[in-house]
Amino acid sequence: MAPSPAPPGLLDRLLQVDRRIIYLVILIGVTFPFYVAWPPFQVEVSKEVEAAYRIIDAIPPHGNPLMLSIDYDPASEAELTPMAVAVLRHCFSKGIRVMVISLQYSGQGAGIAAELVPKIAAEYGAKKNEDWCFLGFQPNATVAMLQMGEGIDKAFPRDYYGTPYKEIPMLQSVQNYDQIPAVLSLASTAISESWVVFAGTRYGVTILEGITAVYVADIQPFFQTGQIKGILGGLKGAAEYEKRIQREGDGMGGMRSQKVVHYMIIAFIVVGNIAYLRSRRRRS
């Protein structure tokens, strides 16, 4: 009489786990770090992010505004919105005024800005048209960049809400790039290079860039030549800026989430291979 087969062990049972359980474990691993500051995650602030932070931090409170251009669409929000939040919190916490515009994606960036900027401003009691303003969207980015060199009101005669440019209190002394201490473009396309060529090189304005990770290699040479003065690259750049302002947000949460999921995937691969090799050896 043939001996009865041995009952399956733990590793054998792991090979038969319903894939939906694995998806659930991954879901928990992705979301958990956004709500609990665990596991510990250390990030070193790069020289590119440090340079951007120092330039923005040096803008005098209640003076001429930082120009923040929201040049991305919802597909890139996961990487770029944490940067926008961190920079806005930095500015509003120090009384630095912010002029927000959008030059990309057929108005989708304007929709993001219209929702995001008032929300962060409310955290600090920052007032519209006194501490921040949103001039809205212009579809031809290069034309708008050149027009603003002559007069910002030429590109944006009215703001997003219909207020004439000349009736916005915080812009009474702001005519063109000469009164803009720096421009920060948050972008997921090559519009970053347009800011360098049409605003930085032609008018001498200080250009900072916040870009998705895939574009960092393309933009890095402009930082090395000094044409771009600071770069926030991808989710890691957002996390670095959050560390610099000493307030964590979705940038740090996202980096923790990536760390947890990477460890989970490695663990699944190792355990799965061990279980497979053991089951094959038992069959042979």
Is pTM, for the whole model, over 0.75?
yes
Q: Indicate the residue type of 274.
A: I
Residue type, 160: Y
Per-residue pLDDT at 276: 82
Instruction: For 101-118, write each residue's pLDDT tens digit.
Output: 999 867 799 999 999 999
Structural contact between residues 186 and 69, judged by C-beta atoms closer than 8 angstroms: yes
Judge whether residue 142 has pLDDT over 90.
yes
pLDDT tens-digit readout, 212-260 = 999 999 999 999 999 999 999 999 999 999 999 999 999 999 998 888 9
Q: Give domain 47-247's CATH superfamily.
A: NAD(P)-binding Rossmann-like Domain (3.40.50.720)
Across the range 25-35, mean pLDDT stands at: 88
pLDDT at 5 over 60: no
CB 209 within 8 A of CB 185: yes
DSSP E strand stretches across the chain: 66-71, 98-102, 132-137, 183-187, 207-211, 230-233
Percentage, residues of the chain above pLDDT 70: 95
Residue 15 reports pLDDT greater than 80:
no
Q: Which residues of 40-51 are buried (b: 16+ CB within 10 A; e: fewer)?
A: ebebeebebbeb
Residue carrying structure tokens 């605003």 = 199
3-state secondary structure 45-95: CCHHHHHHHHHHHCCCCCCCCEEEEEECCHHHHHHHHHHHHHHHHHHHHHC
pLDDT tier at 20, thresholds 50, 70, 90: very high
- State yes or no: pLDDT of 7 exceeds 70: no
**Separation in Å, CA 50 to CA 55, 175, 208, 236:** 9, 29, 11, 13
Token pair belonging to 136? 């809205």
